[in-house]
Amino acid sequence: MHYLTRRFSFSASHRLHSTAMDSAANTCAYGLCENIHGHNYRLEVTVKGTVDPKTGFFCNVMDLAAIVKRLVADPCEHQYLNDLPMFQGCVTTMENIAGRIWRTIEGELTAKGMTLVEVLVGETDENWVRLRGDE
């Protein structure tokens, strides 16, 4: 089985605030991240498949790039993530952002013969989350 990863980036703002917690609990959990602030987000999408001997690949990386760009990277660019329909009803942590991105792109990737295996979302060079479908 081969795995193909495409990297994307977008710059966006967000704030961490949970309506399920009171003000003190929010401050305790999120600290300064309760304030609106920005990140240069890193997004990596990994798909897997079996190589077609005719083409030598299992999917066209340009299809992967176009789908994720249209559904995620472009709509998120220079936006306040908390206001986007994609992230309604969740706290915009890296974990939840990865989950919503997964939900947003999986259908179109599957339709093009790609099996989604990992969505990586990074806020900084130090912090990133990997969401995997098999766990």
Where do contacts with Ni ion occur on this chain (CB under 5 A)? 33
Q: Least distance to Ni ion from the beta carbon of 120, Å? A: 16
Nearer to Ni ion, 92 or 104 (CB): 92
Nearer to Ni ion, 64 or 121 (CB): 121
**Is 39 in the active site?**
no
Under a CB-based contact definition with an 8 Å cutoff, are residues 118 and 131 in contact? yes
**Is 59 in the active site?**
no
Q: Which residue has 């009171």 as its token pair?
A: 22
Q: Which of 37, 123, 126, 135 is catalytic?
A: 123
Handedness of CA 66, 108, 54, 5 (dihedral sign): positive
Residue of this chain nearest to Ni ion (CB atom): 33
89 vs 27, 37, 92, CA distance in Å? 19, 19, 9
Largest separation between any pair of C-alpha atoms in the chain:
60
Q: Which of 33, 39, 77, 90 is catalytic?
A: 33
Q: Least distance to Ni ion from the beta carbon of 14, Å? A: 6
Tell me which amino acid residue 92 is.
T
Q: Which residue has 């991105």 as its token pair?
A: 101
Nearer to Ni ion, 40 or 50 (CB): 40
Q: Least distance to Ni ion from the beta carbon of 8, Å? A: 18
Which residues participate in catalysis according to the annotation?
A: 33, 78, 123
